[in-house]
Amino acid sequence: MNETPEQEYDDGDVAIIGIACRYPGARDKEQFWENLVDGRESITFLRKEEIEVDQALVNNPAYVRACAPLDGYDEFDPSVFGIPDHVATLMTPEHRIFLESVWDVLEDAGYDPDRVGGEVGVYAGANPMTPAQYSSPPDWVSVGPEVMDRSNAWFTDTMTSNALYYLGLTGEAVTLTAVCTGFHYAVHLACQSLLLGQTDMAVASGVMVRLPQRRGYLWEEGRIASRDGHCRPFDAKGTGTRLASGVATLLLKPLRQAVADRDHIYATVKGSAINNNGASALSYGFAQPERLSACIANAMHVGGVTPDSVSLYEANTFGLPITDGLEVRAAQMALGKETGTTSIGSVKGNIGHAGVAAGGSGTVKAALSLYHRKLVATINLTEVNEELDFPHSPFVPQLEGADWAPKAGIRRAGITALGGGGYNAHLVLEEPPALPAREPESRAARLVTLSALDDRGLAERRAALREWMVRHPGARLDDICFSLNLGRRIMDRRWAAVVSTKGELLEALSAGTGGRVTSSGSARQVDLSGFRRTDGGLVPATDDARHDEETLFGLAEAWARGQRVDFAVLHEGEPSHRVPLPSYPFARRRFWRTSW
């Protein structure tokens, strides 16, 4: 493929360079995407004895024993962030899950927080109810250190500032509340900050942890919770959705800069828009077609996108005929009357409605669909609601998975989020730009590094990298080394290898020791005479020595024993790109507080 000329990049485009998420049935974005492709429904039907509350209601004929639990919602690894156990216990589940998700998204993008230059903005929507549900504190009369620890760990307001603090970053920190449009609002504000030059990179997220997790609900006619626990988007027999928990986090950067920095790009944010219904003839909280249509049209206008080029519409949909009808009408008003040009779907059938993080589930689905060039089926859609009149609309329900081959020649997606109180939000995404052509990589010697807090973590990192390489046989060794050496926080337990091929790296990862492999457990003395020091650490004394096997092994041994290495200089002038490698293997433990 040829490199896209620099002048063709729109100054208003923002690249998605990192994705992290956790949803019911999915511990990470890879499993989330796999579930979507395979059409899995992440729902649990509880036995009566499994229900944590509502014992007085479980025999009610209207009680639905369905939930969408988030595995590990009560677990956390505070050691990675240097957080004491007593503070980790004070933190709400949303604080903890969000913090790990920010770590994951930085690693996915190939950025070590300790070596990030510039300002990193953090914008996130959260659920203000969770702190009170977790453990409501007493009326504090002191403002001493203990009270401040409790406050910072408990208040929703400090969630984003905690991320900056515990990861060692600086930038804007904005925790916002816009109910179920929280994720979209975070992306909207993050893009504005980037395009105004207020930040260099931005984290946008939404997190929701419903407490208690293992409980059902009472079905009520005409409300958004479904009669049988299943969500059936656009289905004639749809009775609503079910509630879920989750977190979705994006790392964003202006597209032109992302290309220059050789970032891995999943998709591009072309435009975003938000508005509110205000006073409406419809019931408060229902979608108002004219206002939602204006929001969708504005997002396309901001991005210079024509309606006929949007070939995927990821709907908010609650799987309820009245709400689905209002949204489809609004989207049709914005996208026009040309029939059969846009796939319509919804992730709600898979996981339900994740509240503040609901928009994140649809956005991650759309971004990965663009990246993989595939459309995934909307599950639980068996009898299309004829009242939606899809044959006379732009929309074609996505009943089966398919390769994405748009008529317009470019892949674009629109994602809508709606929130009670009249909140509307819409994002327009585009497929990533083509990668530049590169020469085949040589068999030059390369240094690859891994580190962790302890031997367990180091062994798991080796195993995860080996598994990733087996699943991605087309990956380049230079990209892997570049991403690991520059994109991971350096910890106490270290492992390094000098290899010339991916086969050698796979062998080294399997063996763990021997050959051109070293670790922090070795007692061998290191000769530093063949190196020079920069402000960033050791580097080979000459440029020619940067791919000399013996020189690199000496550098590997020095690094494994605690010496600093200037990896930026080591990789200077290379055509390597960042690739999304496995994230840190958190050693999660249960943290829970029942009283103050």
Which residues are within 8 A (CB) of 469 and not within 5 positions of it... i.e. 6 or more apart? 475, 480, 502, 505, 506, 509
Side chain identity, residue 548? D
pLDDT of residue 3: 43
Do 422 and 471 lie in one domain? The reply is no
Flag whether 148 is in a domain. Answer: yes
Q: Identify whether 113 is preceded by a cis peptide bond (ω within 30 of 0).
A: no
Per-residue tokens: 539: 């580097």
Whether 385 and 486 map to the same domain: the answer is no
Q: What is the pLDDT of residue 149?
A: 77
Give which of 126, 204, 117 is closest to 169, Cα–Cα.
117
Residues 331 and 393 in one domain: yes
Residue 458 lies in a domain: no
- 3-state SS string over 140-158? CCCCCHHHHHHHHHHCHHH
Buried b (16+ CB within 10 A) or exposed e, 331-345: bbbbbeeeeebbbbb
Same domain? For 65 and 158 the reply is yes
> Could you tell me if 205 and 272 lie in one domain?
yes
Is 333:289 a contact under the CB 8 Å cutoff? yes
Residue 299: predicted pLDDT:
98
Q: Which amino acid is at 105?
A: V
Does 478 lie in the same domain as 341? no
Residue 550 resides in a domain: yes
Average pLDDT, the chain: 93
- The owner of tokens 């499993």 is 31
pLDDT at 1: 34
Task: Give the pLDDT score at 515.
Answer: 64
pLDDT above 60: residue 2: no
The CA distance from 187 to 191, in Å, is 6
Name the DSSP letter for residue 431.
P
Average pLDDT over residues 495-503: 96
At 491, is the secondary structure helix, strand, or coil?
coil
Residue by residue, DSSP assigns 256-307 as HHHHHTT---SEEEEEEEEEE--S-SSPTTS--HHHHHHHHHHHHHHTT--G
Of residues 430, 420, 415, 432, the one with CA closest to residue 184: 415
Q: What is the CATH number of the domain that holds 308?
A: 3.40.47.10
Single-letter residue type at 462 = R
Could you tell me if 387 and 489 lie in one domain? no
DSSP 538: E
Answer yes or no: do 267 and 384 share one domain: yes
HEC assignment per residue over 18-36? EEEEEECCECCHHHHHHHH
pLDDT in tens, 409-424: 999 999 999 998 899 9
φ and ψ of 403, to 5 deg:
-65, 145
Dihedral class, residue 410 (left if φ above 0, else alpha if ψ from -120 to 50, else beta):
beta
Identify the CATH number of the domain in which residue 546 sits. 1.10.1240
Give the pLDDT confidence score for residue 281 in this predicted structure: 60
Residue 447 has pLDDT above 70, yes or no: yes
Q: CA 367 to CA 365: how far, in whole Å?
A: 6
Q: Identity (one letter) of the amino acid at 504?
A: E
Q: Tell me, what's the pLDDT at 594? A: 65
Task: Spell out the residues 6+ positions from residue 40 whose beta carbon is closer than 8 angstroms to its own.
Answer: 25, 350, 379
Kindly report, residue by residue over 266-299, the tens digit of the pLDDT: 999 999 999 999 987 677 667 899 999 999 999 9
Total domains in the fold of the chain? 2
Distance CA 400, CA 493 (A): 47
439 domain-assigned:
no
* pLDDT bucket at 249, cuts 50 / 70 / 90: very high
Say which amino acid occupies 189. L
Q: State yes or no: pLDDT of 517 exceeds 80.
A: yes
| Pairing verdict, β 201-208 and 246-254 | antiparallel
DSSP string, 232-244: -TTBTT---B-BB
- Percent of the chain beyond pLDDT 90? 82
Is 452 within a domain? Answer: no
Q: What's the predicted TM-score (pTM) here?
A: 0.95
Do 199 and 347 sit in the same domain of this protein?
yes
- The H or E element containing residue 86 is helix 85-90
Judgement on whether residues 120 and 173 belong to the same structural domain of the protein: yes
Stretch 488-505: mean pLDDT, rounded? 96
Better-predicted residue by pLDDT, 579 or 52:
579
- SS3 assignment, position 384: strand
Per-residue pLDDT at 4: 41
Q: Is 151 exposed, middle or buried (0-12, 13-18, 19+ CB in 10 A)?
A: middle
List, in order, residues 6 or more apart from 138 with CB less than 8 Å away. Answer: 596
What distance in Å separates the CA atoms of residue 129 and residue 161, rounded to the nearest whole number? Answer: 19
Return d(Cα 95, Cα 101) in angstroms, integer. Answer: 10
Q: What is the pLDDT of residue 7?
A: 46
Instruction: Print the domain residue range for 526.
Output: 463-571
Rounded CA gap, 318 and 327, in Å? Answer: 10
498 pairs with which residues across the strands? 447
Position 580 scores a pLDDT of: 98
* CB crowding 170-191: b at 16 or more within 10 Å, else e: ebbbbbbebbbbbbbbbbbbbb
User: Do 372 and 285 fall into the same domain?
Assistant: yes
In a domain, 438, yes or no: no
Please indicate, yes or no, if residue 579 is contained in any of the structural domains.
no
Q: What percent of the chain has pLDDT over 70?
A: 95
Nearest to 532 by CA among 556, 559, 566: 566
Are residues 469 and 555 both part of a single domain?
yes
Helix (H/G/I), strand (E/B), else coil: 401:
coil
Output the pLDDT for position 520.
79
Helix (H, G, I), strand (E, B) or coil at 563: coil
Split at pLDDT 50, 70, 90, the class of 465 is very high
Residue 484 within any structural domain of the chain: yes
